Structure 1
């Protein structure tokens, strides 16, 4: 999408929303105005954080093109009124807190020996231990401001002797990581195993660790995960951004024959086109030319797909084009 089109759409959105917001009761029924604004806010909430920040900038630019006066001031307030300028790092921390609370509530009363169907060979004890250990590891890495890789084996875990104590231990572990993340400047440089070499990357990574492992627990118990569309879309992008920085997966992707896979979110309209093969790996947020294959589902189902929790043949996903390309892509990118 061109910059001219993006700016025009942002300006149109700003004018429509500001007009609704400033209409008097005789011109527009107040209940209708509230409904329209709430619907708009709900749609914007489904955008991933990076898109929300971009939209905020576009709306401010649109306001800057209006003459000085009350109308411009109204336009300038729109990003704040829709929460587009909220502290994203703290929002990630709050989301981690909420998701880990859900995770521990789900696993608390499950027999630790119960198999995790989405992670062959794992039990619930393994799943909960892994999730808590990841929080302890992140707390250590951020706490010491690591500038080089840190092995999980070098981090003290203080594991409980009885596996039944793992859920409470994991909740405590998340509390440790969140305390560190909230204390350290999110823009501070730090080593990470992904694309973003700043503290903020750990809040984002821990959120999707929690989201995916909560889904592991729920799916293993025959429940359907409930993942917000905006969160899921952000998780798909986080996966794609980090993929080239994960050596084993990057090597497997580089060994694939040339191909493209489009991921299309049926509920939000978002699309990601992934290209891979001997010439390297890349992805864009646009639909682009016709791909070798396309996978369509909700944003949540696509998040579970890229993390290997939904198979191409799952009834919630629709695969078009060459299914062999999808299968090879999935085989190369599943942890």
Structure 2
């Protein structure tokens, strides 16, 4: 498992948005999202649709700097009509995927990361949609599944973001103890889906590996990903925590950038 093909990410943006739309269908859009308690389902959908359009505009215009929100074509439905919101979500996902396909993965564009390519945005938007689909499914009380490739890639990307934020001096990750403690993530339903994370003196490092650690988080790959993204509590009966749970709690406390 590793990076997916550019075209696959583009396809996933559309497919996953379709699953999000299905989760919203018939749901009370005023329902509070438990994992994003400042949002209702309608606001969650608005966030996803605007994120797609923002990334699409960056790629479409080959932006050399961040695009201001007011410069992004929005056209979001002013009414609470679920059908209009559904069509708006579909349109945004399709438009962004189209812009990404036309650009190709190597087109140079602005990003907040060290990777200034359209390929960065294809991956970022696919995984953004994966995680918020989980939020919507939980709030709407509908089933949620994810392909193993995307679940593993979401973990990889999150760890990359943590390391990048650390180098940028983000206040949350900057306070994570550099005490040499280690975490092991172990998916029980997918081969080679294991990670070893170390809080070293020089900061966080990680690699794909099976090894002993101060704490291990075990469970289905999707659930391990959801715990890491704070969408599932580590004391859930869907996962198992072995060893010093305080190390995992500390990690989750400090690796949040919202």
Q: Does 1:253 align with 2:177?
A: no
Cα deviation, residue 109, structure 1:
2.5
Shift of the alpha carbon at 1:291?
1.7
Q: Secondary structure at the match of 2:77?
A: coil
Alpha-carbon distance, 1:308 to partner: 0.9
Q: Which has the higher helix share?
A: 1
Alignment-derived partner of residue 25 in structure 2: 108
Matched, 1:207 2:126: yes
- Identify which of 190, 210, 214 aligns with 1:268: 190
Q: CA RMSD in A?
A: 2.0
Q: Deviations over 1:32-75 (max 9, x none)?
A: xxxxxxxxxxxxxxx3346xxxxxxxxxxxxxxxxxxxxxxxxx
Give the structure 2 partner of residue 169 of structure 1. 88
Matches within 5 A, 1:33-112: 47-49=1-3, 88-112=5-29
Give the whole-Å Cα distance in 2 for the aligned partners of 1:94 and 1:167: 18
Q: Which consecutive residues of structure 1, in runs of 5 or more, have no partner in the other structure?
A: 1-46, 51-87
Q: TM-score, normalised by structure 2?
A: 0.89
SS at match of 2:32: coil
Is the contact between residue 23 and residue 142 of structure 2 (CA under 8 Å) also seen in structure 1? no
Aligned-partner Cα distance in 2 for 1:195–1:299: 27
Name the structure 2 match of 1:132.
Answer: 49
Partner of 2:223: 301
Counterparts of 1:173 and 1:237, CA distance in 2: 26
The number of residue pairs the alignment matches comes to: 251
Residue of structure 2 aligned with 1:123, choices 34, 40, 43: 40
Which residue pairs with 2:213 in the alignment? 291
Measure the CA separation in 2 of the matches of 1:168 and 1:268. 35
8 Å contact kept, 1:272–1:286: yes
**Equivalent-residue separation in structure 1 for 2:225 and 2:76 (angstroms):** 30
> What SS is found at the alignment partner of 1:187?
coil
Higher relative contact order (CA 8 A, sep 6+): 2
Partners in 1 of 2:73 and 2:66 — Cα distance?
16
**What is the distance in 1 between the residues matched to 2:30 and 2:244?**
39
Q: Which moved more, 1:295-304 or 1:250-259?
A: 250-259
The corresponding residue for 2:241 is 319
Shift of 1:277: 5.4
What is residue 109 of structure 2 aligned with on the other side?
Answer: 190
Distance of aligned partners of 1:180 and 1:48 in 2 relative to their CA distance in 1, 3 Å threshold: same
Distance 1:322 1:249 in 2: 27
Please give the secondary structure, in 2, of the residue aligned with 1:312. Answer: coil
Distance 1:174 1:280, change over 3 A: same
Number of the residue aligned with 2:65: 148
8 Å contact kept, 1:253–1:277: no
Structure 1 residues 111-141: Cα deviation after superposition (integer angstroms, max 9, x where no partner):
2211111211210111000000001100111
